[in-house]
Structure 1
Amino acid sequence: MVRFKNRYVTVEISSPSVADDVPLKLKSKMFYETVLNKVQQLHGDYGVAAIRAGLLTRYCNEYTRIAILRVRHGPHMFVTSTLPFITKIGTLDVRLNTLHVSATLKHSFKFIQEHQRAYLINKWSKLKSDVERKYMEQVVMDFTDVDVAINLEKFA
């Protein structure tokens, strides 16, 4: 039996056409198809064949604009070299920044928790009431959109 090594690419999606306080209308499937099409455009059939078996969008948060892609180790270089060239997802103008590449989902979530905690502290100063702050914390620190159920308590 062969063990497949994966890489988890944490990506920040920024859109100049959408205000920072408005959530992006972004679906995991649309993001997946955009990455696959851009790899086809830049690396051809070889690139698509190399990444297709292991490419998966694991997490996508519309409020903090962070996504995690799972790719097999080796062909992950095709994906990471392609991400800066993606300028549109559907009809939305975007710019993608690779924040982190890790070997485990655990380390990706640790990085995201630290990154989103900093984001939350920055946003809290702009909110007026405690109700808004609680709602923002709940939305930002929500990891239930992950395709596979992960118990984050084990990682703390």
Structure 2
Amino acid sequence: MIVYYFRYLTVAISSPSVPNEKPLGLRSGVFHEAVLDKIQQLHGDFGVAAVRSGFLAKYCNENTRIGILRARHGPHRFVSTSLPFITKIGKLDVTLQTLHVGATLKHSFKFIQKYQRSYLDSMWHSLKTDEEKRKLELAVMDFTKTDVTLNLEKMT
């Protein structure tokens, strides 16, 4: 029986061409392919072969511009060294910054909760009505754009 250990890379995606108030319009599949293309360019066939098994874009929030990539332990280094060199995802000019590398998805989501709570606090002053604040909080704290069933109540 083969047991794989994974690493989850939490990534901040920023784009100078899209204002901070607007969503990026970025899909997980496009993000996934852009990372694999850059790994191919930097590390060749060996890098792609090492990473491909178990590699997945698990989460991508268009509003807060946060994504989570899953890679096997060991080959995750190919992923993490390739991220700073990605300048385009689809037609979008971007810069990527690795925020956190965790051993479990649960810890990555805990980190994102803290990170997004600080983002929410910084955006709070620009909103006028309680309805706008509620909508922003729902968008920022939305963890449903992932293929993992996660009970947030158990995380606290």
Shorter-normalised TM range:
over 0.9
Instruction: Indicate the residue corresponding to 2:8 in structure 1.
Output: 8
Deviations 1:87-145 (A, max 9, x none): 00011000000000000001100000000000000001100100000000001001011
Corresponding residue number in structure 2 for 1:21: 21
Aligned with 1:60: secondary structure?
A: strand
TM-score by length of 2: 0.99
- 2:126 aligns with 126
**Given residue 148 of structure 2, which amino acid in structure 1 is its aligned partner?**
V
SS at 1:125 equivalent? helix
Aligned to 2:65: 65
Paired with 2:84 and 2:125, the residues of 1 have a C-alpha distance of: 31
Q: Output aligned runs, 1:38-57, within 5 Å.
A: 38-57=38-57
Over the matched positions of the two proteins, sequence identity in percent amounts to 63
Q: Does 1:152 pair with 2:144?
A: no
What's the Cα RMSD here? 0.5
C-alpha separation between the residues in 2 aligned to 1:97 and 1:148?
23
**Secondary structure in 1 matching 2:126:** coil
State the aligned residue count: 156
TM-score of the superposition, structure 1-length normalised? Answer: 0.99
How far 1:154 sits from its partner (Å)?
1.1
Question: Which segments of 5 or more consecutive residues in structure 1 lack a partner in the other structure?
Answer: none
Distance 2:25 2:142 in 1: 17
